[in-house]
Amino acid sequence: MDRGEAPYPPDNADYGSGPYGAVGYAGAYKSDSISRPSPTQRPSYFHTVSLGLLVLLPAMMFSLVSMLFSFLYHRLPAACWTFIGLCLCTSFLFMLARPVRDGPRYWFNLGCLCLLATAAAYLASFWNLHKNFDMYWAYDGQRSYANVSPSDQALARLDAGKLLFNSEARVDPTAAVGIVD
């Protein structure tokens, strides 16, 4: 027998009835023993829009809560907490909605995913706020001074975040400190 040749010809009645069935041979499904599911056949409760909503709504809630906490919490904390309250209320409304028919509890699952996304976004963005953005907001809140003379008192500009020296200011290389070999 040649390597490319099947042990049974396709028109043989025993074709696909070997110890491994028809697995391994291209197009070798017997109609009475193995039925291939139709690619367009879906359960009656499956909807592409519903699946998209299960993915996109929690992802959108996560993104919005994260961005609000990162960029707006410093200036408007009440707006951030209000939005989190709206997300939580929406989640609980979805969880309390009654199922219309038998099958998976779609609205309950959507509510759980939205609740999980809101909680995860709050925790992640609060960590991000205190780990990364606190230094930014602290620096942003400090004053900047322009046309500063090097001979001015340092205590006069103790709240400075940025100093711009005047054009006559130069670095004195004799007063510089460093390692000399």
| pLDDT, tens digit, 9 for 90 and up, residues 37-91 | 566 666 665 677 888 888 999 999 999 999 998 888 888 999 999 999 999 999 9
| pLDDT, tens digit, 9 for 90 and up, residues 18-50 | 555 544 445 554 554 555 556 666 666 567 788
Instruction: Please report which confidence band the pLDDT of residue 13 belongs to, taking 50, 70 and 90 as the band edges.
Output: low
Indicate whether 97 pLDDT > 60: yes
Token pair belonging to 124: 């992640």
Distance CA 149, CA 163 (A): 10
Token pair belonging to 89: 């209320």
Torsion of CA 162, 165, 166, 170, to 10 degrees: -160
pTM score over 0.75: no
Distance CA 43, CA 38 (A): 12
| pLDDT, tens digit, 9 for 90 and up, residues 143-172 | 888 888 777 887 877 778 788 888 888 877
Distance CA 53, CA 19 (A): 45
